């Protein structure tokens, strides 16, 4: 996978407001926030998009969801939305798997 904005954040080549990190995941605030609370959960393993994940990534994918929940709680969120865009047609602009966690305001359905 080619270097992306997110891989550069992982390597600390680009600054970010990092709010959580462990051996497998990094969480930082979205610079284009769409809600009062908006952060991204990314794997440190380079996976371009969800459809590129394999069975060997099962534990990592579950870990990312647990991290999203943990950081949401740390941010004071009880209600929040998770969003994963898969491919350009779904509005994915950075091709490094990431989970948007949004909260702090009501959301409608269907989205976008």
Report the Cα 74 to chain-centroid distance in Å: 16
Cα distances (Å, whole numbers) of residue 30 to 52, 58, 59, 110: 23, 25, 25, 22
Which parts of 5-98 are beta strand (E)? 18-21, 25-29, 37-43, 80-83
Query: Which residues form the catalytic set?
Result: 98
Dist CA 50 CA 60 (whole Å)? 12
């Amino acid at each position: 996978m080619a270097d992306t904005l997110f891989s550069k954040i992982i390597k600390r080549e680009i600054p970010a407001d990092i709010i959580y990190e462990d051996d497998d995941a990094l969480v930082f605030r979205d610079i284009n926030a769409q809600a009062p609370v908006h952060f991204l959960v990314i794997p440190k393993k380079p996976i371009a998009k969800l459809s590129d994940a394999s069975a060997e990534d099962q534990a990592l994918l579950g870990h990312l969801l647990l991290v999203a929940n943990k950081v949401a709680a740390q941010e004071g969120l009880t209600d929040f939305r998770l969003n994963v865009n898969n491919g350009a047609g779904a509005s994915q602009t950075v091709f490094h798997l990431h989970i948007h966690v949004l909260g702090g305001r009501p959301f409608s359905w269907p989205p976008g």
